[in-house]
Chains A and B, each alone.
Chain A
């Protein structure tokens, strides 16, 4: 049920224009895009935007509630924590970390996964069997357990978190690419193309890539939320991002002891996670509904 590409290569211009039109006609999720934009701005310009240094302690100013509360003040919009650090600045700093982790993870796991899937599908035989068994083994260990153990081995840090999550997610991309390559191998026009003298690289670029790109893009967008939640879980358990980096998950872990004292410490970082995931899910759904030609319009 795939959309066949013409032998000459590439998408026919008409179809390309149609994609854009479809995207625009679908009902752009403005809210989600704004949230994601804000996140990216926070990620890039975070340090200048935040009113306070996220790690600046102020022991005279602990447990200040958010601004709209009776004891709150606009100096600290979202209040302060048990060490007097400004929550708003820390949430912005956390956004930076989350977005950076998500980007690294998606690019790396997408890249590594696709590459492995490509190799497996292309060469087949023993290579394929070994790589797929590797994927099976990995999928049979609960991802959080594997992540925990690896995080301890590699000493928790930003790099470790990225590596650990990439190892967890590469299999998704590998499988998609592999099955595309396998089905491509069966196609007549590929055999014809080879006869006509096209190199492997050209075939891959012209035939594989367009088919797979959409699916990968949709998957990637949907995974942003998942990656952020995974990183938050790791940091919550103490094996993810470490100080002085700020992570929303870490903020939640620190806030646990003060639940009775300061409700804002345990709610606001979670709201940040929620808005980010929501935005990425909505955008992902929008992309999927428009870009993936296999989806029925429902």
Chain B
């Protein structure tokens, strides 16, 4: 068991280091940040001086080592654009993204669970079809478009909800819906199929024959078992929310990590891109790790495969 966990954590670590190299190299290939930081008519001597000061004239592998050396200690350097520590900028905005991801996840689960249960219980009926259809529709509409439509209807025309920004619960509603919309279909399917499995099982049938009311069977006993696959996948879904947050944050001007990274990519602000993407990778890997570990706990066969 311990070996399994250690192995998994080790692999996660390798992934993160690998991710840092990939992002480091690729972001440095995006172009010259110096020209963007100086006035248009700055002469070449000034540009070279700045390049030297920022250490961008060293060979790539040396730049990476310097970066890694500092990164381990938590120093990602100063943002080229804002001249403040990159990690600070990114960490300040992390809570907003996590809040958004959690809200999105909450929204999707609160739709998927009832839909899945109802679809399973009333299998084959119009409720089932409706549930599947609704979920399917969700999977067909890109999150950012749903967001744009909601802004059009609820902000521009009806004026009920604020179009952008953050601060109150009202600001969270539309971004959460736009983010959580997509995985509803997959989650509904999982809940439904898990429920169907359980509802057919012996002990539920026994409960039925003993006279327990149907609704109690469904909500209390069946659901508890059906929830297991959903719960174990929560980590994966949270990670997916983090990924999807990038675009939703841009649409809603949500002051989170994703939007900061997108802006930094455009501004060739390497330190912020590195810090932001690495941080997200760490969260990603951790979430997936937790899922794997929980599977390992639940299903001993998995520990020994691979």
Q: A and B touching (C-beta < 8 Å)?
A: yes
A residues with CB within 8 A of B = 133-134, 136-146, 148-150, 152-153, 225, 229, 232-233, 236-238, 252, 256, 259-260, 263, 266-267, 270, 273-278, 281-282, 285, 298
Per-position 1/0 for B22-36, Cβ under 8 A of A: 110011011100000
B residues near A225, Cβ cutoff 8 Å: 139-140
**Besides A152-B266, A259-B156, A278-B140, 17 other A-B contacts (C-beta < 8 A):** A133-B18, A142-B277, A142-B284, A145-B23, A148-B262, A148-B265, A149-B265, A149-B273, A149-B277, A152-B265, A153-B31, A232-B142, A233-B142, A233-B144, A266-B152, A278-B136, A281-B136
A267 nearest in chain B by CB position:
B149
Q: Could you tell me how many residues of chain B have their Cβ less than 8 Å away from some Cβ of chain A?
A: 48
Per the bound structure, the CA–CA distance linking A274 and B141 in Å amounts to 5
Contact A152 B31 (CB under 8 A): yes
Q: Check: B16 CB closer than 8 A to any chain A CB.
A: yes
A137 nearest in chain B by CB position:
B18
Q: Interface majority SS on B: helix, strand, loop or mixed? A: helix
A residues near B19, Cβ cutoff 8 Å: 137, 140-141
- The verdict on A137 contacting B15 (CB below 8 Å), with A142-B277, A229-B142 known, is yes
Nearest Cβ in chain B — how far from A39, in angstroms?
Answer: 14
Q: Check: B247 CB closer than 8 A to any chain A CB.
A: yes
Q: Check: B145 CB closer than 8 A to any chain A CB.
A: yes
- The verdict on A142 contacting B280 (CB below 8 Å), with A153-B29, A225-B139, A233-B142 known, is yes
Per the bound structure, the CA–CA distance linking A198 and B145 in Å amounts to 53
Contact A137 B22 (CB under 8 A): yes
Per the bound structure, the CA–CA distance linking A144 and B281 in Å amounts to 12
Per the bound structure, the CA–CA distance linking A270 and B144 in Å amounts to 10
A148 nearest in chain B by CB position:
B265
- The verdict on A142 contacting B141 (CB below 8 Å), with A148-B262, A149-B23, A153-B26 known, is no
Contact A149 B15 (CB under 8 A): no
B residues with CB within 8 A of A = 11-12, 14-16, 18-19, 22-23, 26-27, 29-31, 123, 136-137, 139-142, 144-145, 148-149, 151-152, 156, 193, 196, 242-244, 246-247, 250, 261-262, 265-266, 273, 276-277, 280-281, 284-285, 288
Contact B281 A140 (CB under 8 A): yes
Contact B139 A141 (CB under 8 A): no
Contact B284 A277 (CB under 8 A): no
Instruction: Kindly identify which residue among A233, A237, A270, A298 contacts B148, using a CB–CB cutoff of 8 Å.
Output: A270
- The verdict on A144 contacting B148 (CB below 8 Å), with A149-B23, A277-B140 known, is no
B residues near A150, Cβ cutoff 8 Å: 26
Contact A277 B141 (CB under 8 A): yes
Instruction: Kindly identify which residue among B22, B29, B149, B262 contacts A141, using a CB–CB cutoff of 8 Å.
Output: B22
B residues near A145, Cβ cutoff 8 Å: 23, 243, 246, 261, 276-277, 280
| Nearest 9 Cβ contacts at the A-B interface | A137-B18, A277-B140, A270-B145, A142-B243, A278-B140, A140-B15, A152-B30, A153-B29, A229-B142
Contact A144 B265 (CB under 8 A): no
Per the bound structure, the CA–CA distance linking A259 and B261 in Å amounts to 26
